[in-house]
A and B are shown apart, each in its own frame.
Chain A
Amino acid sequence: MEKIVRIESRTVVLDIDNVDTDQIIPARFLTTTVRKGLGEAAFHDWRYAGNGELNPDFVLNRPENRDRTILVAGDNFGCGSSREHAPWALLEAGLRAVISTSIADIFRNNSLKNGFVPVVIDEGPHRWLKANPGAEIAIDLEKTQVELPQGPPAPFELDRFARYCLMNGVDQLGYLLRQSDRIGAWEQRAGG
């Protein structure tokens, strides 16, 4: 996995609360058996009109937002299903992080396993970010803070283990596999 220490970008603001995983990637795209090729499916039914044409009003379709990598979204981002296709699709669509006031549990876990950075900050700086789309900001994992063009940085919490894995490009499966002796001992004790 790629090491992630700092992400710098102008922001894309999607000021909608409770964006669910069916919006991030509709279920009909989940019949795939691979991880790749889902970028086009990201926010598909918001990005494209019913006739398949690009919806020019959707924020991610605006030309100025094409290369931006940090999404600022409303409260409770990623609620709904456990589909890991959601962060896979967002990453392939060019996004690297989401900032919100809360992020749904399973989506957050899935994101952290794939190097898509879920950032939860306080309402004050979040409100400022929503009011200032295109702001040039940085997400710093070393300092666990979001650096804003004005005012103090906004701190965020990030599980220490997840942060270590992101910053060092560690795949968590390797860590688990190294516990196999203890897992075996536990199974013996449990009689399983």
Chain B
Amino acid sequence: MSGQTLLAKIWDAHEVVPETPDTPAVLYIDLHLVHEVTTPQAFDVLRANGLPVRRPDLTLATMDHSTPTEPASTLEELEKVALPAAAGQVRAMIENCEEFGVELRGLDSPERGIVHVVGPEQGATWPGHTVVCGDSHTSTHGAFGALAFGIGTTEVGHVLATQCLLQRRPGALAVNVSGRLGPGVTSKDLILAIIRKLGVGGGTGRVLQYRGETISALTMEQRMTMCNMSIEAGARAGMIAPDDATYEWLHGRPMAPAGADWDAALERWRELEDRGDARFDREVSLDAGQLRPMVTYGTNPGMSAQIDEPVPGSGDPAIDKALAYMGVEPGKPLQGRDVDIVFIGSCTNSRLSDLRSAAELLRGRRVADSVRMLVVPGSQIVKREAEAEGLDEVFLSAGAEWRESGCSMCLGMNGDTVDPGKLCVSTSNRNFEGRQGPGARTVLASPLTAAASAIRGRVADPRELMDR
């Protein structure tokens, strides 16, 4: 396996039928994550063809996109707080999982949450796995050394029925990162810098593998934030080779191997570690040592700048259009721009460490009067762990809202939206026009920058509020 990329090692181990010029590979899927938005039409196809779910045991189901972040642990409660269509979708998910024998981490489950938070939390994502989900941020699971990517609803049906996908092998692009991240600079800032460098289409047709000393020093949660946003560079997936941090995360989790199985798994996983000898189709390098907190100023995740760096001046029509939509002045830094809403949450930045870092800045401080701040934990487990540490008290006494888990304001499907023209500093992953609601303006940032901006009432550098 010497000289092989992580992608190649995993791919070769999962080819049920190898690809030929005429036919794509039949690729076996180890873990299929399903949620309520991209599955109803796939279950319909199974029903119409009289097909069962081939491997319910490899299918992990939860609900996140359409579920409200107000308390609702039964359908009756849900119908009081949810939009009618969203409630209908939740009902369909419950019925489909029941009919097809798929265990659902449903409304009343203590393990419900955002699908990309729940999978790793349960220890379901392993090194060397193939993981798919009808959601583009499935790339998150690449943090564990898995090949994990988003698929459409037709392909969800393929996996439900056959546990396989028809796929062509993508290319492999190495992103080599050196240097130590400075205080107040997070893996969110790093991935925004990488997307800026590659461009929003720069990873098309390829899988990114993040490597180097900076990546090795990241925690698993920081790695998940990075892999999560690989799709924002257009990449099929993002991945990081497993190491001791990976194994430490997995050990003892409910769905991780245990006992003798653990020892055998560890032996297999170590084969996937990065020995530095892999050959990639393309490599790019980045020095993280000089990086400052990053914010997006435009309407795609590639339009970002360091917080004190002027955004581009006028001239490029695409930039002009984006700045006009955002109400951002050309040629000036975004720092200091008034903020209406701050959202901490989403599959990118809603894990315990994200909440801790935001709470650290907010402790003993107040959210500015002009700002509404929403904190949405990634799962009910994250919520309980945060509450056990008293983080909810920190957020609530600062004047922020503390909600139930879900995708929430990342994409505004569940009633949590940003009003037209309002500017939201958000720890989510997409700043597309209207992403958080029609006319909403989104600034992507780290939890630290989001918390600092909530306190100041304007886009703020978290380093000004640290080291007190």
* Chain A contact residues, CB within 8 Å of chain B: 16-18, 20, 22-23, 26-28, 30-35, 45, 50, 75-76, 79-84, 102, 104-106, 109-110, 113-114, 159-161, 164, 172-173, 175-177, 179-180, 182-183, 186-187, 190, 192
| A179 B432 Cβ-Cβ under 8 A | no
| A182 B204 Cβ-Cβ under 8 A | no
Interface residues of B in 84-112 (CB under 8 A from A): 85-86, 88-89, 92
| Cα of A179 to Cα of B49 in the assembled complex, Å | 16
Task: Give the B interface residue count (CB, 8 A).
Answer: 67
> For B22, what are the chain A residues with a Cβ–Cβ distance below 8 Å?
160-161, 164
A-B interface pairs (CB < 8 A), number: 168
Residue of B21, B41, B86, B432 with highest tally of chain A CB at under 10 A: B432
| A173 B157 Cβ-Cβ under 8 A | yes
Residue of B17, B24, B166, B168 with highest tally of chain A CB at under 10 A: B166
Chain B residue, CB-CB nearest to A103: B204
| Cα of A79 to Cα of B299 in the assembled complex, Å | 12
3 smallest CB-CB distances across A and B, nearest first, come from A76-B201, A110-B152, A31-B85
Chain B residue, CB-CB nearest to A81: B136
Residue of B16, B55, B158 with highest tally of chain A CB at under 10 A: B16
| A83 B152 Cβ-Cβ under 8 A | yes
Instruction: Name 19 extra pairs, CB < 8 A, besides A26-B438, A82-B38, A84-B153.
Output: A22-B432, A27-B412, A33-B41, A34-B41, A80-B430, A81-B150, A82-B135, A82-B138, A83-B37, A84-B152, A84-B154, A105-B170, A176-B26, A176-B166, A177-B161, A180-B162, A183-B54, A186-B16, A187-B163
> For A16, what are the chain B residues with a Cβ–Cβ distance below 8 Å?
318
* Contact pick for B161, options A109, A159, A173, CB 8 Å: A173
> For B152, what are the chain A residues with a Cβ–Cβ distance below 8 Å?
82-84, 106, 109-110, 113
Q: With A45-B433, A182-B26 as known contacts, state yes or no: A173 contacts B40, CB within 8 Å.
A: no
Interface residues of B in 29-55 (CB under 8 A from A): 37-38, 40-41, 44-45, 49, 51, 54-55
| Cα of A173 to Cα of B28 in the assembled complex, Å | 14
Q: With A33-B88, A83-B38 as known contacts, state yes or no: A50 contacts B439, CB within 8 Å.
A: yes
Least CB distance from B289 to A in Å reads: 30
| Cα of A172 to Cα of B88 in the assembled complex, Å | 29
| B164 A176 Cβ-Cβ under 8 A | yes
List 16 contacting pairs A-B, 8 Å CB cutoff, sorted by A. Answer: A18-B318, A26-B434, A31-B83, A80-B136, A80-B432, A81-B136, A82-B152, A83-B37, A102-B201, A160-B21, A160-B22, A160-B23, A161-B22, A161-B23, A176-B162, A183-B162
> For B41, what are the chain A residues with a Cβ–Cβ distance below 8 Å?
33-35, 84
Q: With A76-B200, A79-B234, A84-B153 as known contacts, state yes or no: A33 contacts B92, CB within 8 Å.
A: yes
> For B433, what are the chain A residues with a Cβ–Cβ distance below 8 Å?
22-23, 45
| Cα of A182 to Cα of B23 in the assembled complex, Å | 15
Confirm or deny: B186 has a beta carbon within 8 angstroms of a beta carbon on chain A: no
| B136 A82 Cβ-Cβ under 8 A | yes
Confirm or deny: B313 has a beta carbon within 8 angstroms of a beta carbon on chain A: no
> For A176, what are the chain B residues with a Cβ–Cβ distance below 8 Å?
26, 158, 161-162, 164, 166
Q: With A106-B152, A113-B152, A183-B162 as known contacts, state yes or no: A75 contacts B201, CB within 8 Å.
A: yes
